[in-house]
Amino acid sequence: MRNTILVFALITASLIAQPAAQAASATVPKRSAPSLEQRVSDLEAYVNNGTRVADGTNTVSSNLGSYDEKANVFTPNPGPGPNAWQMTCAALVLFMTLPGLALFYGGLVRRKNVLSVLAQCFLITGMVTILWYICGYSLVFHHGNGLLGDLKGFAFFNNVDSSPNGDYSPWVSQNVFAMYQLMFAIITPALIIGAIAERMKFAALFLFMFLWMLVVYFPQAHMIWGIDGMMNGVSNPNAKIHAIDFAGGTVVHMTSGWSALVLCLILGKRQGFGKENFTPHSMVLCMVGTGMLWVGWYGFNAGSAVAADVIAANAFTTTTLATAVASFVWPMAEWVTRGRPSVLGFCSGAVAGLVVITPACGFVTASGAVIIGVFAGLIPWFFCYKVKGWFGYDDALDTFGVHAVGGTIGALLTGVLARSSANANLASDSMKNFVTNSPFQPLVFEQLKAIGVTLALAIGGTVVIAFIVKAVIGLRPTEEAESVGLDLAEHGEEGYNG
């Protein structure tokens, strides 16, 4: 909560103050012109997505950047290929939320609540962007401690410009990387909407999501992806837990999915649950959203390589295979058990495939991805069709069944199926003891530990926040509002007219 107060103070400040000047350059010796050999090496580093010959220190020289003679500062340039790719990916990940997820969820609710879902997605987009600019990016991606980044390092995008930040990518502009990661920060809370659709007050959702970003998302993202995060197995040799999570199995899907379950239990069921007909008002929109999610997810998964290199290529491939297989297996399971494969089954299978492959995509082989696809088609299906019925919680659009369950088995299967043949980084000094390329490699236990930490943070954080919001402004709209529909009641509009 200290953070929250700080944040509000900073908001006001930001609109007045110009960002502080760049850190004054220390007195380093002037650089000498790069040799032909150095220049060629740097060009090769560009193609190979390798470490740069020169990245801002002045002792080594390169021409791939601009050198300010007066200030004696060399600012590395991004490369056109990686930057193009990363901007494309950032746009694709935004597309996943607006309109992808908005349609996927919006199609599944009843006609009278479709706009409320769209409004919630949109609200989160704006609110998270503002948070990200003020402090979020800094808290996640600046170095700090194992739990959280430094609050002021990149606050107000100070020092975040078009030059790459070598901690995350040698050849992609840092501001592009920041925008790319922003899109993740946007979609994650938006996923929660699925569990609590059709029955949460707009103002309550606003406050909940605001606090949730600070309490759950930023710490979790830093722990897994921050350069000094305590669970960043690949980049942080001093990580407490040597877990890996390529594109957000724990950070995105587990946090949102488990928080969604908790929040939906605290909220209670929708009016008429179990009696009235809650069929999707438009399976067509839902399917359109699914297609957009799939396409956008390439930005999510292959883009997480932060380069269009061999790892991105592999992630692209595994994402396709796992998703297609899961989109096939789920409706086949329905066909067998229920007599008919449904379009909702195809859609759910595809999304489940995407979720489960997310943490694994950059670490497993094509055949590993096919295996993951089979699990992704069966286990979440079982949760949505059977387990939910047994327990009777009202996970309206199956955020828990798909994202929490999917994210969790994804994190686990990543441990089982990660192979250094798929990603050379797994053979690095920091990881090679954990990845022995067998199903019971030590990595599995690291993944279990990361799962445990994530569960604790997501569940604990959500319980606390939900009760605060309940106390402050209440969680549910009036009974009449819920029955009339949130669209008219909360937004004064209807989804369709005439």
Is residue 257 a contact partner of residue 193, using CB atoms and an 8 Å limit? no
Give the shortest CB-265-to-a copy of itself separation in angstroms.
27
Looking at residues 390 to 419 of the shown chain, list those that interact with other proteins (rule: CB under 8 A).
Answer: 398, 401
Sequence-distant (≥ 6) Cβ neighbours of residue 9 within 8 angstroms? none
Is residue 279 near other proteins by the rule CB under 8 A? Answer: yes
Cβ-based nearer residue to a copy of itself, 240 or 436: 436
DSSP class of residue 155 equals: G
Give the shortest CB-410-to-a copy of itself separation in angstroms.
18
| Residues 69, 32: Cα–Cα separation, whole Å | 11
Identify the sign of the CA torsion 109, 114, 118, 123: negative
Looking at residues 324 to 383 of the shown chain, list those that interact with a copy of itself (rule: CB under 8 A).
Answer: 324-325, 327-329, 331, 338-344, 346-347, 349-350, 365-367, 370-371, 374
Looking at residues 432 to 471 of the shown chain, list those that interact with a copy of itself (rule: CB under 8 A).
Answer: none
Looking at residues 173 to 192 of the shown chain, list those that interact with a copy of itself (rule: CB under 8 A).
Answer: 173, 175-176, 178-179, 182
Looking at residues 7 to 46 of the shown chain, list those that interact with a copy of itself (rule: CB under 8 A).
Answer: 14-15, 18-19, 36-37, 39-41, 43-44, 46
Is residue 276 near other proteins by the rule CB under 8 A? Answer: yes
Site string for a copy of itself, 108-137 (x = CB under 8 A): --xxx-xx--xx--xx-xxx-xx--x----
Q: Which does 273 bind (CB under 5 to 8 A by kind): a copy of itself, other proteins, none?
A: other proteins
Count Cβ atoms below 10 Å from residue 424 Cβ, excluding itself: 10
Q: Which of 116, 165, 304, 348 binds other proteins (CB under 8 A)?
A: 348
DSSP for 174-227, written as a single string = HHHHHHHHHHHHHHHHHHHHHHHTTS--HHHHHHHHHHHIIIIIHHHHHHHHST
Angle formed at CA 173 by CA 171 and CA 177, multiple of 5 degrees: 105
Q: Which does 274 bind (CB under 5 to 8 A by kind): other proteins, a copy of itself, none?
A: other proteins
| Residues 181, 82: Cα–Cα separation, whole Å | 15
Q: Which does 40 bind (CB under 5 to 8 A by kind): a copy of itself, other proteins, none?
A: a copy of itself
Q: Which does 478 bind (CB under 5 to 8 A by kind): a copy of itself, other proteins, none?
A: none
Give the shortest CB-116-to-a copy of itself separation in angstroms.
9
| Residues 449, 193: Cα–Cα separation, whole Å | 27
Angle, helices 366-382 vs 310-338, to 10°: value is 40
Identify the sign of the CA torsion 302, 305, 308, 313: negative
User: Which residue ranges make up the site for other proteins (CB under 8 A)?
Assistant: 272-279, 338, 344, 348, 384-389, 398, 401, 483-484, 492
